[in-house]
């Protein structure tokens, strides 16, 4: 009997985990309410806002710390102001953007991968500062040589 109980409990746990994105009603009473997607952030750049919104939706991000990878290649982003609130970012792909403001990068202490190829001359002017960061894979591009 204990084995059957364990299997039933395990099935219940996995079943509820699979439904974590949905509200659960029992006899028209709310038993479980799914946490909404994260939307309590403000960024300066509309293109960055669009990229963040699409990523949060696609990856079902429920809090800022849940976002660890952001791919915004060729998105028309000029400013990264506000990105620092996503403090757990580990991978950031920004190739092909006309960046004019990148200060937020210096506050992202968990970055392991940073791709800035084919961006603005601002990135080139900050090459030494970027290389001083503890980023295992920094891609700035040949245009900065």
For residue 122, how many other CB atoms are within 10 A of its CB? 14
Answer whether 114's CB lies under 8 Å from 92's CB: yes
CATH number of the structural domain spanning residue 133: 3.80.10.10
Confidence of residue 74 (pLDDT cuts 50, 70, 90): very high
Same domain as 133, residue 104:
yes
Same domain as 87, residue 113:
yes
Confidence of residue 87 (pLDDT cuts 50, 70, 90): very high
- Flag whether 80 is in a domain: yes
Task: State how far the Cα of 92 lies from the Cα of 71, in Å rounded to an integer.
Answer: 6
Express each pLDDT in 42-67 by its tens digit. Answer: 899 999 999 999 999 999 999 989 99
Same domain as 55, residue 8:
no
For residue 113, how many other CB atoms are within 10 A of its CB? 15
Q: Which domain holds residue 86?
A: 46-144
């Amino acid at each position: 009997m204990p084995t059957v109980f364990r299997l039933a409990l395990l099935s219940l746990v996995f079943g509820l985990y699979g439904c974590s994105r949905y509200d659960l009603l029992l006899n028209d009473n709310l038993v479980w309410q799914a946490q909404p997607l994260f939307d309590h952030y403000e960024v300066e750049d509309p293109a960055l806002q669009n990229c963040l919104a699409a990523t949060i939706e696609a990856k079902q991000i429920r809090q800022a710390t849940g976002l660890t990878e952001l791919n915004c290649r060729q998105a028309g982003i000029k400013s990264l102001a506000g990105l620092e609130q996503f403090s757990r970012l580990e991978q950031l792909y920004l190739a092909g953007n006309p960046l004019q403001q990148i200060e937020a990068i210096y506050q992202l202490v968990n970055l392991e991968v940073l791709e800035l190829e084919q961006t603005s001359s601002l990135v080139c002017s900050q090459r030494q500062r970027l290389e001083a960061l503890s980023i295992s894979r920094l891609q700035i591009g040949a245009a900065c040589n």
